Amino acid sequence: MSIALEDVYKPSDDVVAREIEGEIIIVPLVAGIGDMEDELFTLNDTGKAIWDQLDGRRSLAGVVAAIETEFEGSEDGAIERDVLGLVAELVQRRMLVAA
């Protein structure tokens, strides 16, 4: 599946995302995402910054722009790569869906 900058994504109803002590914890809700006991998913700092912007209204281009404003001075193209990379991974894991 190709991810384009004009696409809009939102967290899937198949997971519950919680912010606890500064960490984003993604808890599977339905079968097939992470059914084994004691297994949860966390995002790294880059992932967390991007996740916070994925509200189901903003396009990925808008997400990139928002994060570029927040993190001035990032390497050219790095934020776009991160946004597309994270979204691809979360879509593949069924944690994110097209809005």
> In terms of Cα–Cα distance, which of 57, 55, 59, 54 is closest to 86?
54
Of how many residues is the chain composed? Answer: 99
Nearer to another protein, 23 or 56 (CB): 23
6 in helix, strand or coil?
A: coil
Residue ranges that bind another protein, judged by CB under 8 A:
16-18, 20-23, 25-31, 34-47, 49-50, 67, 70-71, 74-75, 78-79, 81-82, 85-86, 89-90, 93, 95
Min separation Cβ 2 and another protein, Å: 18
Residue labelled with tokens 């599977």:
28
- Amino acid (1-letter code) at residue 39: E
Min separation Cβ 51 and another protein, Å: 9
